[in-house]
Structure 1
């Protein structure tokens, strides 16, 4: 079996499911965001904020290229991607050489709840720790965060569905192991 590349909206469970799958298949787990940080010494958010979108896309592409080279000698690897990789064709090309794209489709409410849970506030009440695409809209309250996320979610769903080899609907009410089993079942059907 080739590598499994997990994609989906931020907080859909890519890292959690990736680690579970790596344990199941007894293979290495990689996260493209971690690879970006190792390569540059900065988090994806720091690169995007400090140097802009183009600098981030280039760093992500290079990290994916390095990762593809690193796993050449592996029989299999599990890779969790950053939520925005769907807008980085060069990075996607590097990863697609290594395996299949699996779209982990989490419901909108679950993903939005996870984003809202991470919000913090500075001393003057401004929201912090928001994804860049939400922060740039300068939301004033949680309702605005959810509204911005809704539009983004709808757009991204279409992109992921067009890119993926397999789409798996993850259920919030299911356990992590039940969702992992859905992925394993879908992989078996694909073989």
Structure 2
């Protein structure tokens, strides 16, 4: 089996599924957001906030190049968890595309929305904090605003990820191991169809 590249919005389960799939398939695992931290000393969110979108995209593409080189160097397949906005970074996608299968982990909207709302913090002035950048830049004033902004975003990203992925797997509100088995079954089905 080729390497597996996990795509999808924030909170769809890419990081946790990459670890589970790596164990089940005996593949190495990489998380591009963690590689960015290792390479720059800053999180994806910090780079985006401090230096802007283009600086973040450059860091993300560099992280993907690093992962690609590591895979080429060891000759083993890997499971790669990508950042939630990689669909907006053609350079990064171009680096990852030759490595294997793009798998869109599609979290149900209500589950993903709930995970985002759960992480909201409120500062001393009553502003909502700890939001994904794409929500924060719209200055939501309430939980309802956050959910409304997320809804628009979810529809757009579902369309984008469906368009670039080889497989779309709906992530049920089920134990992580159950979803991992569903991903493997979808990969095996694709492989059988190709061969």
Structure 2 distance, partners of 1:176, 1:67, is: 25
- CA shift digits 1:117-145 (9 cap, x unpaired): 11111111111110000000000010000
Equivalent pair of 1:2/1:75 in contact (CA under 8 Å): no
2:162 maps to 161
1:149 and 2:150 matched: yes
Q: Which runs of 4+ in 1 moved over 4 A?
A: none
- CA shift digits 1:36-79 (9 cap, x unpaired): 11111111000000000010011101110111001112321110
Q: Structure 1: which 5+ residue stretches go unaligned?
A: none
Structure 2 distance, partners of 1:10, 1:26, is: 25
- CA shift digits 1:96-118 (9 cap, x unpaired): 12111000011000000000111
Structure 2 distance, partners of 1:127, 1:59, is: 27
1:15 and 2:47 matched: no
2:182 maps to 182
2:55 maps to 55
Q: How does 1:31-180 map to 2 (within 5 A)?
A: 31-72=31-72, 73-172=74-173, 174-180=174-180
Structure 1 distance, partners of 2:54, 2:31, is: 20
Pairwise CA RMSD: 0.8
2:28 maps to 28
Equivalent pair of 1:134/1:148 in contact (CA under 8 Å): yes
How many pairs are equivalent?
190
What SS does the corresponding residue of 2:141 show, helix, strand or coil?
coil
Q: TM-score, normalised by structure 1?
A: 0.97
Q: TM-score, normalised by structure 2?
A: 0.95
